[in-house]
Structure 1
């Protein structure tokens, strides 16, 4: 009995020593690993919009999601809105299938609250909103005006300040909601930088040039605003690669924003490149589908959008990117096509109104300071 007890004690002691050694070795290796490879939180490019009931780590990228059918859309009748260009009113121009206007964007991890026009008008009371860019920027400008007009009882209280009709040629348009002291302006500045004269002895094909190192000469008129939304065109022909010229022009723009815009007052947005759906060998064929594509077919990426995102990330002041490129890649059904005021010229770049641009504005309004997209 004594011998057996001695052996048992000896074996137990040796076992404890072995276990202790193993634990010490594991702890030592863990410390060495943490020292050599410290934990670094991943860089997540997301739009943190959460409600008070969600945890602090919840995030919602409102531009990651899918289109779902919603019979409560569209939110307005383009024929009843005097600020919609006839060329974008597809239904009035003969388009029979109205399904293109009955799609709503559903973010993956949250919902965009139902559009409450009266609440929005009150929030925007006394504000000045400025859109700067190309014809697609003008489309978003028209869309926002038409959306907000549904909440105004006296339609005559909404008017263009200079009595101008909405056309493609006019460089400045301003609509005043007098009951709410709200102004919504549009400045046509396709490339944001300053147009320049054609150099002497230039080839005949050169019709115009740009000063990519100097912002547009009307830029002083953009400063005094509460909400400032930019976009820029892609079809730019220069004596340098398009992407190089665009990058220089956008750096000029970013320096101007950092120097001239009071971002404590003004919320600045930049909308990324809008996917078009031209097809064919020379990209001159326009086939508007009846329903959205089920696949993006690679149109969810854009070199131009990548440049915008990269430059904005480096800016010293807050600018919100409206990264619409992925969500638009599916909407092959939303284009004007042959349902414009000039049906002989198909259009797979611009969008029908009401339609896709309305969703840009619903997202824009929910990303303003003080608003929150509720997580579901």
Structure 2
């Protein structure tokens, strides 16, 4: 009997020890998960966002020191995101379909942007489509503008049951080589359009007698010829920056022209500033105050130390603060002209807005396709060939479009 009792005590001790171990393990793991992917937490003093509610669209804190800062804030974990699934949207490039291309987690799509001192409304596709009724919304820029354009198509189409009522007006399919694409939402008689113009100014023919090293010219004082197609749009959203670097310009034998003069010694920074000046001068003459003009700022890549080190595939969550921002003074030449030049242009007819997404985007190294851009059957790309510049969809460009939506609802635009 004593032996049986002893065996029972040993068994009970082992059982209790197991329970203690399990509880400790659960608490520890739960704590780690919470740190990596925290649940949605509203900012102190800011009421949680009510889904599909337009009441108090923008709530400025009574004790806030200043106005709502759209471009300052934090990425907050939100289980109700994403706003759509890539498999349910036919308007995406294959390269942006990260989850379908084999990315093993979708945590990058579950972070919501929380601006400082205020809330923004949750995107409501029907409300946005009503705002766009009988209007043209146009994106003009590089492939990051294409990223945002496709994001908005997916966000809007989520409210349309009859997908056949959304179509490309010229019957073209979405390919990255198409110069422009115009999608119409028939029920609302509105179009959401994209025009590829990576420099925003004209790529010109070589003049006779051009230096031998010149293989391509950018006419810095002439707008891209595509402007005739989108000049009358109701909402114009511009972006550029990705192509304004040594690899995309000088390595390709690209130089600059102003008037009849080829500028072989002009810096990329000076050329970029001149192109932005050309854009603003053109807008001041060609676009009146009844139109909405937005410049969406540079969306940073995350190649880290240098472009040859293409490592972003191990990033699984946002950064708390961006050392990348602090270590990238070269961004100043992309940002300063956008801020400085409009005030120097004297025109009562010209008004526009900056959509500054640079800082909020710099915090998201986890949002790139990295090695998951080749397609569902091709498998991951080699580690040395990662895409750390474009964005998975759903993902970060959705947040840019939520900022656009908030501005429209609050009367900032339209």
Q: Does 1:269 align with 2:294?
A: yes
Give the alignment partner of residue 347 of structure 1, picking from 387, 400, 412: 387
Q: Does 1:86 align with 2:116?
A: no
**Given the superposition, is the C-alpha separation of residues 152 and 249 from structure 1 closer, same or farther in structure 2, using an over 3 Å criterion?**
same
The equivalent of 1:9 in structure 2 is none
Q: Does 1:293 align with 2:315?
A: no
Offset, 1:313: 3.7
2-structure distance, mates of 1:152, 1:139: 21
Aligned counterparts, 1:102-117, within 5 A = 102-117=110-125
The equivalent of 1:61 in structure 2 is 69
Contact 1:50 1:59 in 2 (8 A): no
Aligned counterparts, 1:1-376, within 5 A = 59-200=67-208, 206-236=214-244, 237=249, 238=255, 239=264, 240-264=266-290, 266-288=291-313, 289-299=315-325, 302-303=331-332, 304-315=334-345, 316=347, 317-341=350-374, 343-344=381-382, 345-368=385-408, 370-371=410-411
Question: TM-score with structure 2 length normalisation?
Answer: 0.73
Q: CA RMSD in A?
A: 2.4
Contact 1:335 1:350 in 2 (8 A): yes
Offset, 1:299: 1.8
Contact 1:95 1:339 in 2 (8 A): yes
- Which one is further off, 184-193 or 344-353? 344-353
Contact 2:58 2:410 in 1 (8 A): no
Q: Secondary structure at the match of 2:325?
A: coil
Tell me the number of residue pairs that the alignment of Structure 1 and Structure 2 aligns: 324
Q: Secondary structure at the match of 2:70?
A: coil
Contact 1:99 1:291 in 2 (8 A): yes
- Which one is further off, 125-134 or 52-61? 52-61
2-structure distance, mates of 1:105, 1:56: 18
Contact 2:60 2:118 in 1 (8 A): no
2-structure distance, mates of 1:331, 1:53: 26
1-structure distance, mates of 2:168, 2:60: 40
Offset, 1:198: 2.9
2-structure distance, mates of 1:369, 1:221: 27
2-structure distance, mates of 1:308, 1:372: 19
1-structure distance, mates of 2:59, 2:365: 33
Offset, 1:119: 1.4
**Given the superposition, is the C-alpha separation of residues 57 and 67 from structure 1 closer, same or farther in structure 2, using an over 3 Å criterion?**
closer
2-structure distance, mates of 1:255, 1:187: 20
**Given the superposition, is the C-alpha separation of residues 282 and 349 from structure 1 closer, same or farther in structure 2, using an over 3 Å criterion?**
closer
1-structure distance, mates of 2:339, 2:181: 28
**Given the superposition, is the C-alpha separation of residues 372 and 86 from structure 1 closer, same or farther in structure 2, using an over 3 Å criterion?**
same
**Given the superposition, is the C-alpha separation of residues 165 and 313 from structure 1 closer, same or farther in structure 2, using an over 3 Å criterion?**
same
**Given the superposition, is the C-alpha separation of residues 165 and 56 from structure 1 closer, same or farther in structure 2, using an over 3 Å criterion?**
same
**Given the superposition, is the C-alpha separation of residues 201 and 226 from structure 1 closer, same or farther in structure 2, using an over 3 Å criterion?**
same
**Given the superposition, is the C-alpha separation of residues 298 and 113 from structure 1 closer, same or farther in structure 2, using an over 3 Å criterion?**
same
Q: Secondary structure at the match of 2:366?
A: coil
Question: TM-score with structure 1 length normalisation?
Answer: 0.80
For structure 1, which runs of at least 5 residues remain unmatched after alignment? 1-48
2-structure distance, mates of 1:369, 1:50: 9
Q: Secondary structure at the match of 1:275?
A: coil
1-structure distance, mates of 2:58, 2:319: 30
